[in-house]
């Protein structure tokens, strides 16, 4: 009944956020305590900088749903399938993003020039044109670029 009334009698003593159920409060407390009770104990091959490491993964998660999503790295499971091209994804958010290819949807709009983008990250990078920010730095000569593609081209041209 609390859901309908909006009553939230279970309060977090740290941040004072209210919850309608005690179980929701208990789950919330993991944010403050750092508790990560859901452990991945898969023995696997991990790759790091093109080197293979064999061992148990040991990653910890606050939420079971995050462990479930993480396990797909080990199993290769991709349960989210595009109805149009049948490409599969490990996360629903990746399928949602992929669908914009088919629909042409570009929900992220630049407030300055009104250009639209299908990915928020592309809008963020685009904003460098307007701000003049150059966040991509060359490790060899310290020159900066507004776009990663320009940095890559620079490295190939001058440092290879």
Domains by residue range for the chain, with CATH: 2-33 (3.30.160.60), 38-75 (no CATH), 110-158 (3.30.160.60)
Angle CA 97–111–128, to nearest 5? 80
pLDDT of the residue at 55: 56
Q: Distances in Å between the alpha carbon of 74 and those of 2, 49, 57, 83, 122?
A: 40, 18, 9, 25, 29
pTM for this predicted structure = 0.52
pLDDT of the residue at 2: 64
pLDDT of the residue at 38: 65
Low-confidence ranges of the chain (pLDDT < 70): 1-3, 38, 40-56
pLDDT of the residue at 52: 47
pLDDT of the residue at 58: 72
What percentage of the chain carries pLDDT values higher than 90? 49
pLDDT of the residue at 56: 62
pLDDT of the residue at 44: 58
**22 touches 11 (CB < 8 A):** no
Spatial distance between the Cα atoms of 10 and 17, rounded to a whole number of angstroms:
8
pLDDT of the residue at 50: 46
């Amino acid at each position: 009944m609390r859901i309908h009334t909006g009553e939230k009698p279970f309060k977090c003593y740290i941040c004072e956020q209210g919850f309608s159920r005690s179980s929701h409060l208990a789950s919330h407390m993991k944010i403050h305590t750092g508790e990560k009770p859901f452990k991945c104990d898969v023995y696997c091959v991990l790759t790091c900088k093109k080197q293979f490491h064999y061992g148990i993964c040991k990653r910890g998660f606050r939420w079971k749903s995050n462990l479930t999503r993480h396990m797909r790295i080990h199993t290769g499971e991709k349960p989210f399938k595009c109805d149009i091209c049948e490409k599969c994804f490990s996360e629903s958010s990746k399928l949602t993003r992929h669908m914009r290819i088919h629909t042409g949807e570009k929900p992220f709009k630049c407030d300055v020039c009104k250009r639209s983008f299908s990915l928020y990250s592309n809008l963020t990078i685009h904003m460098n044109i307007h701000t003049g920010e150059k966040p991509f730095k060359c490790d060899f000569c310290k020159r900066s670029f507004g776009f990663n593609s320009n940095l890559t081209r620079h490295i190939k041209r001058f440092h290879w």
